Amino acid sequence: MIALISRLFSHRWKDEEAVRHGYGMICGAVGILLNLILSCFKIVLGMLIGSLAIQADGFNNLGDVGSSLVSLGGFVLSNKKPDTEHPFGHGRAEYLSALIIAFLILLMGFELAKSSIESLIAHTPAPVFVLAAFVVLLCSIGVKLYMAFYNTRYGKRYNSSAMLATAKDSLFDCITSGAVLLSMALNHFWGLNADPWCSLAVSLLILWGGYGTAKDTVDLLLGKKADPELLQSIADTVTGHEGVMGVHDLIVHDYGPGRMMITLHAEVDEEADMLATHDLIDNIEWELNKKFNCLSTIHMDPIAVNNPETDAAKEQVKQALNRIDERITVHDFRLVRGQTHTNLVFDICAPYEIKLSDGELKARAVKEIVALNEAFNPVITIDRR
């Protein structure tokens, strides 16, 4: 269905961003229609046969209508062009829409849990089994599996957190409808009134799904660490060019799907022609922009290459720092010899897992290095990764 509808509008999509926006709008609109139909059937049917679990499932689908509306709104806002107040665009609006969806899921789960507990306390009679309810729930599972399929497919293709959140919600809806079917079967064949218990189980599943969606979205908004494979691929791309000796201070800034910024430091030979090296860095930036669909900025760090004195001092410093923690690395290393002491100017890159504060780490590093040679005067900058 999604592919068929997209063919009707694809001639209007001029670029990749327009295609992504178009698929997001279509998936959202189809989701609203399907959820609205399911919710109407389930709520009416649940009221007719007195099934709290079916009504709960229907209200859950009605909540999904609101989720789809929020998702649509997120796509509309995220597609707005950058302006003076938002120079990096509005891509994070999609993350906000995914967060609102998560809160709607949590609210729905809470209300269902409340109704289920009230039903258990009141000893509400078991609902009457009717074939229509069985058919509607089976159809609901089929529809929700389809929605999970297309939202996952296009969510991964276009890196949409809102669509992936909707896909996860659809899968939980399948479990919800399956639990309601189970309660009907238990009542019909064994006379067990499992309706409120199944409704409670459904609410707990909904709450768990809402929590997972909220956590994933909050991580993106707060500044989640970039995928290690992405970082390695960026570093390999840069160091794959002759003339670049190393990469450090690599940071990926996420301003929403398709709006990624990359900053890094590239180490180059201090004796090389600076104009030629500058041209090399420009070419690498263009390659990164095209390969990763991003905006990249590279800081050029000149370093001493094949200098025996500098290399020996750097190796001593590495050994000293390894005594503190083997995960510590060194970059931007320079040796400046004076009459009474030798300045060792460098940056330490330390993982966040090292619990020492920056001041404590610097003090430990100075102590270890000076123990090697009292003439060394370490001038250290601490980086965390």
- Does pLDDT of 39 surpass 90? no
Residue finishing a domain among 222, 252, 276? 222
Could you tell me if 54 and 180 are in contact, meaning their C-beta atoms sit under 8 angstroms apart?
yes
**Total structural domains in the chain?**
3
Together in a domain, 186 and 206: yes
- At residue 282 the predicted structure's pLDDT band, cuts being 50, 70 and 90, is very high
On whether both 45 and 192 belong to a single domain, the answer is yes
Mean predicted confidence (pLDDT) in 18-45: 81
Residues 284 and 325 occupy one common structural domain? no
Range with lowest mean pLDDT among 4-18, 149-163, 183-197: 4-18
Indicate if 92 and 178 belong to the same structural domain.
yes
| Per-residue pLDDT, 111 | 77
What is the structure's pLDDT at 129?
64
Looking at the structure, do residues 155 and 87 belong to the same domain, yes or no? yes
Give the residue-averaged pLDDT of 245-271: 83
Q: pLDDT (tens digit, 9 = 90+) per residue, 169-189?
A: 788 788 778 877 777 777 777
Mean pLDDT of 119-134: 73
Residue after which a domain boundary falls, among 222, 248, 278 = 222
- pLDDT given for residue 58 in this prediction: 82
Quickly state the pLDDT bin for 207 (edges 50, 70, 90).
Answer: confident
118 and 248 assigned to the same domain: no
**Whether 119 and 154 share a structural domain:** yes
- Whether 132 and 33 map to the same domain: the answer is yes
Q: Which of 87-96, 161-170, 312-321 has the highest mean pLDDT?
A: 312-321
Q: Are residues 196 and 233 in the same domain?
A: no
Min mean pLDDT across 82-86, 233-237, 320-324 is at: 82-86
Residues 151 and 298 grouped into a single domain: no
**Percentage of residues of the chain with pLDDT beyond 90:** 10
Residues 118 and 56 in one domain: yes
CATH number at residue 350: 3.30.70.1350
The domain boundary residue, chosen from 222, 249, 276: 222
Question: Could you tell me if 88 and 236 lie in one domain?
Answer: no
Say if pTM beats, i.e. exceeds, 0.75. no
Give the residue with greater pLDDT, 34 vs 73. 34
Say which CATH number the domain at 150 has. 1.20.1510.10
- Show the domain range for 90: 2-222
Average pLDDT on 61-67 reads: 74
How far is the C-alpha of 145 from the C-alpha of 126, rounded, in Å?
28
**Mean pLDDT computed over 132-140:** 84
